[in-house]
């Protein structure tokens, strides 16, 4: 019987020098259902937004041959070119990145784009950066609505948007079916240590607006490259998002040079599936 949810693999979980066919094949063999492509701030990944139609068709063929699709995009390129930048030229580029990302998503069959929850990153946030962020977010959601692609805020590691509740301020203001929250369970756990609000309670503030969830291991003060099973992520909080009807998850972890990366990728898939399966089991028990 098929699982009642889909589990994606973050692209950066495997070596960057793999071909797309190899990357998709590893994901399938490791027990994932799809791959989340990364469009980060590096020139190499931002250049993907300008792939030719032929290059995009090649990637569609690779998905068919691997029997595994790409179905979400982590768009963290806005960290370098943020929607709220004080430089109007950077803000214009941020909107162009958004427009191109939506076009790429449509061409590749991607359903959801995860937005970085920053007004700015490499400069100090101000009342103006927050206002520009809100203004350009509204423009981005209009573009997404036209394309029929869901946008979801990632809850980040900075105070601007490190909780679902903070993300919901903008979701509520925009009030569009094309903008929701795509929380990072590890980041939320670290935020809960700062604010004293349980992760499940924070997730409740996003009821009806959580489009998917990142499953990542963290420890206090550390947000990346924590091996699964060695951190403090509140996996029990998955009960709340499962109860809300969330059915798409991505295991976020990174290839860090290990010779055992294939085995570790499969183990990561199994670890995260076990946590999600347990959340479904507990939810079903309570509703029985």
DSSP labels for the chain? Answer: ---SSEEEEEGGGS-TTS-HHHHHHHHHHHT-SEEEEEE-SSHHHHGGGG--HHHHHHHHHHHHHHT--EEEEEE-GGGTS-TT-SSHHHHHHHHHHHHHHHHHHHHHT--EEEEE--S-SSS---HHHHHHHHHHHHHHHHHHHHHT-EEEEEP-SSGGG-SHHHHHHHHHHH--TTEEE--BHHHHHHHHHHH---HHHHHHTTTT-B--EEE---BTTB-S---TTSS---GGGHHHHHHTT--EEEE-----S-TTHHHHHHHHHHHHHHHHHHHHHHHHHHH-
Residues listed for the chain = 288
Answer yes or no: are the C-beta atoms of 60 and 69 closer than 8 Å. Answer: no
Q: How far apart are CA 93 and CA 99, in angstroms?
A: 10
Which domains does the chain carry? 6-287 (3.20.20.150)
Name 269's Cβ contacts closer than 8 Å, sequence gap at least 6.
7, 9, 30, 31, 32, 251
Cα-based angle 222, 121, 211 (whole degrees, multiple of 5): 70
Name 9's Cβ contacts closer than 8 Å, sequence gap at least 6.
27, 30, 32, 34, 35, 36, 250, 251, 265, 269
Question: pLDDT value at position 174?
Answer: 98
Question: pLDDT value at position 288?
Answer: 76
Question: pLDDT value at position 287?
Answer: 83
Positions of the chain with pLDDT lower than 70, given as ranges = none
Question: pLDDT value at position 2?
Answer: 85
Question: pLDDT value at position 139?
Answer: 98
pLDDT tens digits for range 3-15: 999 999 999 999 9
Q: How far apart are CA 202 and CA 186, in angstroms?
A: 13
Question: pLDDT value at position 10?
Answer: 98
């Amino acid at each position: 019987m098929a699982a009642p949810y889909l589990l994606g693999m973050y692209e950066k979980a495997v070596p960057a020098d793999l071909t797309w066919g190899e990357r998709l094949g590893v994901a399938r063999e490791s027990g994932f259902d799809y791959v989340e492509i990364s469009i980060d701030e590096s020139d190499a990944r931002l250049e993907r937004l300008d792939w030719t139609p032929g290059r995009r068709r090649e990637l569609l063929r690779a998905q068919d041959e691997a029997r595994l699709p790409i179905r979400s995009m982590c768009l963290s390129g806005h960290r370098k070119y943020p929607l709220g930048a004080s430089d109007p030229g950077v803000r214009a580029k941020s909107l162009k990145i958004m427009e191109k990302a939506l076009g790429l998503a449509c061409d590749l069959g991607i359903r959801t784009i995860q937005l970085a929850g920053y007004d700015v990153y490499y400069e100090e946030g101000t009342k103006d950066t927050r206002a520009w962020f809100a203004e350009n977010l509204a423009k981005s959601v209009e573009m997404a609505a036209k394309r029929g692609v869901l946008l979801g805020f990632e809850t980040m590691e900075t105070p601007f948007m490190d909780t679902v509740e903070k993300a919901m301020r903008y979701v509520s203001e925009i009030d569009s079916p094309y903008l929701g929250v795509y929380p990072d369970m590890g980041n939320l756990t670290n935020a809960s240590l700062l604010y004293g609000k349980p992760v499940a309670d924070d997730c409740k503030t996003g009821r009806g607006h959580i489009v998917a969830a990142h499953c990542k291991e963290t420890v206090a003060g550390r947000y990346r490259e924590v091996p699964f099973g060695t951190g403090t992520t509140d996996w029990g909080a998955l009960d709340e998002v499962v109860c809300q009807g969330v059915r798409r998850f991505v295991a976020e972890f990174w290839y860090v040079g290990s010779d055992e990366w294939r085995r570790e990728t499969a183990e990561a898939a199994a670890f995260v599936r076990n946590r999600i399966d347990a959340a479904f089991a507990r939810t079903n028990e309570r509703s029985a």
